[in-house]
Amino acid sequence: MVDEALSAGAVARRLGVAVTTLRTWHQRYGLGPSEHIPGHHRRYTPADLARLEIMRRLTAEGVSPAEAARWARQAPDPPPNGTVALRRTQSPSRDGGGGIPVGRAGPAARGLARAAMRLDAAAISETIAHALATNGVVATWEGLLRPVLAGIGERHAATAGLIEVEHLVSRCVSEALAAASRARVPTGPARILLSCADEEQHTLPLEALAAALAEAGVGYRMLGARVPAAALVEAVNRTGPAAVVLWSHTRATADPAQLSALLAAPSRPLLALAAGPGWRADTLPAGVVRPVDLAEAVSLAAAVRDSLDQSTRD
């Protein structure tokens, strides 16, 4: 819990609900912001936020909104250290106990995880869109999306559940990243080729890289999932990219022979990047670079683009 009053957007992200949901709860059930400063929008106090948390939790457990609102309005104001009190009264969720773990990620990630557990597509999309507009692609991926996606994967590995959650969140993330890419279409030539390894179907990190490149003004082509080595080499020979990023999420798809074939292509790129946790550094062919994270991949791709552009001008 925080001591300062919060805007509707900040509260929505903390709770993992859409701003339109907050407006509905305000208009229908009187659970609105109570702090008012003349000339400014009303803001939510810690007591308002505590009541909204009760409303969110009860409705997620199947209580009707009207009944949940009645209980929320009757709740006493939280003590100064309200977070502890709320955590003690929170009941286990219906998914078998506990939500999606997000590690040390911030309130926005926790709110996104809550929205994911409720399968609230509107809140998921709204949270992601706000983060992208406010923080940019790299920060949103590292601080919001990756922790939540990793948490879903961790819960699935432990329970064999949350498949529906993973599918919905993945679709919302993909749509948001595509919108971010379309918002800033680079004007220069497509110097970077993005591809998944053969049989690799995890494309979201590559979509995040595409959006980050677009944000940085770096032109790219995206081949997508499950690209056979022969098809990748053909694409390289036809387009002559300055750099190729080959993504592998698992060891099963990280065959170094794909990289060797890429490096042997007639139109060999200036830089070959082996991205993703599937690759092992000690198996990579000489000359292949393994970026440690999204930011480094963007930086390397931009550097190659700039170098090629400079040599063209000279």
Half-sphere exposure of 120 (CA within 13 A, CB side): 24
All structural domains of the chain, each given as residue ranges with its CATH number in brackets, are 8-74 (1.10.1660.10), 107-182 (1.10.1240), 185-312 (3.40.50.280)
Instruction: Please determine, for residue 22, whether its predicted confidence score (pLDDT) is greater than 70.
Output: yes
Q: pLDDT tier at 40 (50, 70, 90 boundaries)?
A: low
Mean pLDDT of the chain: 86
pLDDT in tens, 198-222: 999 999 999 999 999 999 999 999 9
Helix boundaries (H) for the chain: 8-15, 19-29, 46-60, 65-74, 82-89, 107-117, 121-135, 137-140, 146-159, 163-183, 204-215, 229-239, 256-263, 294-313
Least confident of 35-44, 206-215, 292-301: 35-44
Q: How far apart are CA 11 and CA 32, in angstroms?
A: 11
Helix pair angle (121-135, 8-15), 10° resolution:
120
Q: In what order do the strands lie in the sheet with 271-275?
A: 219-224, 190-196, 243-247, 271-275, 288-289
Q: pLDDT tier at 188 (50, 70, 90 boundaries)?
A: confident
Neighbours of 268 (CB within 10 A): 15
Is-contact 165 194, C-beta < 8 A? Answer: no
pTM as predicted? 0.76
Instruction: Please determine, for residue 273, whether its predicted confidence score (pLDDT) is greater than 50.
Output: yes
